[in-house]
Amino acid sequence: MEGFLLIDKPAGPTSHTIVNMVRRLTNEKRVGHAGTLDPFATGLLIVGVGRPATREFSKLVGMDKTYVGTMVLGATSDTQDGTGVITKGLGSLGGSEGWEGRRGELEKVFERFVGLLKQIPPMYSAKKVGGKKLYELARQGKEIVRQPSDVTIYSLSIVNVDLPRITFEVRCSSGTYIRTLAHDIGQNLGCGAYLESLRRTSIGPWTIDQAVKLDSLTKENVQGSLLAIQNVIPV
């Protein structure tokens, strides 16, 4: 059994947990995913089944991605998302209420984050520094200097403003941390922000509309849900 599954990941399980589920469904040891989603995030996860598929991951990992996220103004989080320790009432604005009725100014701040950016990886991330994952150091109460990475934001637009929440859509290069983007926008606004929810809607040409729900996959139908390698990997 070999090919790719386009899965609509629910909130809760890790990407690795879903890989293990697919292993059990397919009885195939060689299973992996092309791009991690944090446990709280939902949306498109591409899972490769079989050695020929997993060998092609490098061609998928670097594809552009699109997300819809919701950030909360007026607070920060040590993980930069809602799973961490939240510190409220930040900034000279006294929180997010100072932005009521000022959508035009919000949009101007968002525009500053379109293009090539230097982004510092969050401590709570799987990025390795000195052979250790950053989140392992963070759980030990350690914080180290991280070198910024180059990322590209191709488009960034506000979908809805219902303060303290702002829902936005972003298309970005591989390796972009959306929770760091939300955090940095909050810093730029002067009131702080953290990412509350996140949904990945596309990877390259593949969209969430083409994905199957995780709970609909069974041993009986997983074969029919597999996409042939030549139909996923770009020539």
Give Cα separations from 127 to 52, 70, 185, 209 (angstroms).
26, 24, 22, 30
Provide the pLDDT for residue 124.
Answer: 63
Q: DSSP state, 34?
A: S
Query: Residue 191 and residue 92: Cα distance in Å, rounded?
Result: 7
Provide the pLDDT for residue 143.
Answer: 64
Provide the pLDDT for residue 125.
Answer: 60
Provide the pLDDT for residue 163.
Answer: 87
Q: Which CATH architecture has domain 65-202?
A: 2-Layer Sandwich (3.30)
The answer to which of 16-25, 96-105, 112-121, 210-219 has the lowest mean pLDDT is 96-105
Query: Residue 168 and residue 182: Cα distance in Å, rounded?
Result: 10
Q: Label residue 94 by pLDDT band (50, 70, 90).
A: very low
Residues assigned a catalytic role:
38
User: What are the residues whose beta carbons fall under 8 Å from the beta carbon of 49, sequence distance 6 or more?
Assistant: 1, 2, 3, 4, 5, 22, 26, 28, 30, 31, 226
Q: Is the pLDDT of residue 92 over 50?
A: no
* pLDDT 10s digits, 172-222: 998 899 999 999 999 999 889 999 999 999 999 999 999 999 999 999 899
- Mean pLDDT across the chain, nearest whole number? 87
- Asked if 202 contacts 44 with a C-beta cutoff of 8 angstroms, the reply is yes
The ranges assigned to domains in the chain are 3-62+204-231, 65-202
The answer to which of 10-19, 31-40, 135-144 has the lowest mean pLDDT is 135-144
Quick check: do 3-62+204-231 and 65-202 share a fold?
yes
* pLDDT 10s digits, 114-131: 999 999 776 566 666 666
According to CATH, the superfamily of the domain at 3-62+204-231 is Pseudouridine synthase (3.30.2350.10)
Q: Of all residues in the chain, what percent carry a pLDDT higher than 90?
A: 58
Token reading at 185: 């926008």
Provide the pLDDT for residue 56.
Answer: 86
